[in-house]
Amino acid sequence: MREAQPSERAVGIDWYISESDGTGGRLRARPSDFRVCELETQGFEPLDVDTDAYPHLVFRATLENWDTNDFVSTLSGRLEMSRERIDWAGTKDKRAVSTQLFSVRAESDALDNVELRGATIDPVGRAGRGLRFGDLAGNAFGIVVRDADTEPVEGITAALRSFGGNGGDASGDGDIVGVPNYFGQQRFGSYRPVTHEVGLAVVRGDWRDAVLAYVGRPHESEPDATREARAFVDREAAAAGTADWAAALDGYPKQLGFERSMLHRLVENGGESSSDFRAALETVPSNLQRLFVNAAQSYVFNRILSARLDNGLPFHRAIAGDVVCFADSEAPNGLALPDPDRSQRVSENQVATVNRHAERGRAFVTAPLVGTETALADGQPGDIERAILDEEGIDPSMFDLPGEFHSTGTRRAILLTTELSIEDDPLTLDFRLPKGSYATVLLREYLKSDPVELG
Q: 147: phi > 0 → left, psi -120 to 50 → alpha, else beta; which?
A: left
Residue tagged active-site, from 21, 67, 93, 175: 93
Give Cβ neighbours of residue 315 (< 8 Å, ≥ 6 apart): 163, 178, 180, 308, 365, 414, 415
User: What distance in Å separates the CA atoms of residue 307 and residue 397, rounded to the nearest whole number?
Assistant: 23
Q: Residue 455's closest CA among 192, 69, 88?
A: 192
Q: Residue 337's closest CA among 447, 432, 262, 249?
A: 432
Instruction: Determine the straight-line distance between the first and last CA of the chain, rounded to whole angstroms.
Output: 23
The three-class DSSP label of residue 389 is helix
Q: How many CB atoms lie within 10 A of CB 162?
A: 15
Beta strands in 224-348 (DSSP E): 323-327, 338-345
Is 93 tagged catalytic?
Answer: yes
Instruction: Write the DSSP assignment of 66-80 as a string of letters.
Output: --HHHHHHHHHHHHT
Number of H helices, E strands in the chain: 14, 15
User: What distance in Å separates the CA atoms of residue 380 and residue 43, rounded to the nearest whole number?
Assistant: 43
Q: Which residues are catalytic?
A: 93
